[in-house]
Chains A and B, each alone.
Chain A
Amino acid sequence: MLWKGTIGMTQGLIIKNLSLYHKYEKMTLVNNVSLSIAPSEIVAVVGASGSGKSLLAHSILHLLPEEIEQNCEMLWNGETVNQHNIPQLRGKKIALIPQTIDALDPFLKVGKYLLTLMKGKNKQHRLHKIWSSLGLDIDWLAYFPFELSGGMARRVLIASALVQNPNLILADEPTPGVDADTLSGVLAPFNQMKQEGKSVLFITHDFFAALKVADRIAVMDNGEIIEVSPVSFFAGDGEKLKHTYTKALWQALPQNCFVNNWR
């Protein structure tokens, strides 16, 4: 049951019955999605591309374009979140790790851009700390976004969320293009957040990255969450997994059978 874990939960984020409808295309994009993220919890979301994973992250922050109609009840630490009070949370309590480097300012060196996102004292010092914790070279702060390699860009995007010191990070595919050596460094801040009582919604295609940090994995298909299972279920041939789609997705990985049993 999706709802079981949320009974009595007052802290963290609760999404109830999220539906997204495209007004012009007359199409339901996300249907009746409910999900909760407790403090000190990392919830991964996996699923087909176009199944609505990024839409889920953007709808939490009310960042969707006008043509998409959003219906849901959302609670943050017990208080209703809507488009009127989201500006007080966005970039402060809840931060997004965007999927593409298009989100960076093309005309600002990345170090300078990250400082614009920060508040409070000792900005430079805090930035350097986060920057080197991600395994980034201090010289790279002077790079423009176009000078970054794919793997560097991912880590800069992660830094862009961390510098805002949020309680919840919505990470929209933060790991593609990151090599195996850097991966543990990239995932370390998420573990750190968990220890500090903060939470992460980890949208990814990389099951193995998800298994390293997440507590639960939600599987999306066609705009719906079809299964939420603890990470321990994702093992072997996936015999503990409930849904046949989840099983097929698991078995398709190159580490497993690398076949498409879903066709």
Chain B
Amino acid sequence: MLTIKGVSYHVSSNRCLFDNVSLKIDNEIVGLSGNSGIGKTTLAKLIARIIPLETGSIHVEKSDAKSNPIQLIWQHPEQAVNPKWRIKRILLEAGEIDSDLLKKCGIKKDWLTRFPHQLSGGELQRVCIARCLISKPRVIIADEITTMLDGLSQVDIWELLIIYVKQNKVPMLVISHDEALLNRICDRMINFQKIVDLEKK
């Protein structure tokens, strides 16, 4: 379970992106939609503790994992990997490489010796998804993760993530503009605009 209480974010001292946002996600897949620029990605980064919290709190079940139990898969994979590391090292950072998992993610063996710039956007995103699963996360936040993938890869990736979260009872927050996709995979949906407006009232 993931509990978010009273989280706010200020871009500058007089510009507030959102204020006092609270959310509770059980072991379910929750879709988060809303117009661009209203702070969905910022909220995702706050939950994953990539941006330090200003106010409020975030609770997640205890885990013995070495890495961050809340794993964020980024919208732009090229910003989420060290450009100087080969793919193998990028994956090893999360834990032991499971070749079966790599196969399921559609990662070819010869990619392991390449650098990030030698893979296409969609290929690099698969690496990031594999890295997330290798670290055995307790919460997954997927921020527009499959927009750069073709339909067939999209089906494969979501199948893989859904099996992981259902088997391991892990909450997953899916941020996307693709309503049809959210309708397919999510247990319930939240419109970010609405929860922000609610707090403003």
A interface, CB within 8 angstroms of B = 46-51, 54, 99-102, 147, 149-152, 173, 175-182, 205-207, 248-250, 252-255, 258-260, 262
Contacts and interface: CB of A to CB of B under 8 A. Distances in A.
B152 A176 contact: no
Contacts of A48: 122, 150, 152-153
B179 interface: yes
Contacts of A51: 150
Among B34, B148, B155, B183, chain A packs the most CB atoms within 10 A around the CB of B155
B120 A50 contact: yes
A205 B150 contact: yes
A138 to B, nearest CB: 14
B35 to A, nearest CB: 5
Given A150-B144, A258-B184, A49 B150 contact: yes
A255 B41 contact: no
Closest 9 CB pairs of A and B: A49-B122, A151-B36, A176-B147, A252-B151, A254-B180, A149-B37, A50-B120, A254-B181, A260-B155
A102 B178 contact: no
Interface of B: 11, 33-37, 41, 75-76, 78, 119-123, 125, 144, 147-156, 159, 177-181, 183-185
Contact of B155 (A49, A182, A258): A258
Contact of B121 (A49, A179, A182, A255): A49
B155 A179 contact: no
14 contacts: A46-B150, A49-B121, A49-B149, A50-B120, A54-B121, A100-B121, A101-B76, A151-B37, A151-B177, A177-B36, A180-B177, A182-B36, A205-B150, A260-B156
Among A147, A176, A181, chain B packs the most CB atoms within 10 A around the CB of A176
Given A150-B36, A179-B35, A252-B154, A100 B78 contact: yes
- A contact patch SS: loop
Nearest to A251: B151
Contacts of B76: 100-101, 150
A132 to B, nearest CB: 15
A176 B35 contact: no
Contacts of B37: 149, 151-152
Contacts of B122: 48-50, 205
Contact of A180 (B78, B152, B153, B179): B179
Contacts of A50: 119-120, 122-123
Nearest to B154: A252
A260 B184 contact: no
Given A149-B37, A180-B179, A181-B35, A262 B148 contact: no
Contacts of A205: 122, 147-151
A22 B179 CA distance: 39
B121 A252 contact: no
Given A100-B76, A254-B183, A249 B151 contact: yes
Contacts of B180: 253-255
B18 to A, nearest CB: 13
A46 B153 CA distance: 13
A99 B159 CA distance: 26
A182 B123 contact: no
Contacts of B177: 151, 177-180
A49 B147 CA distance: 11
B122 to A, nearest CB: 2
Nearest to B143: A150
B36 to A, nearest CB: 2
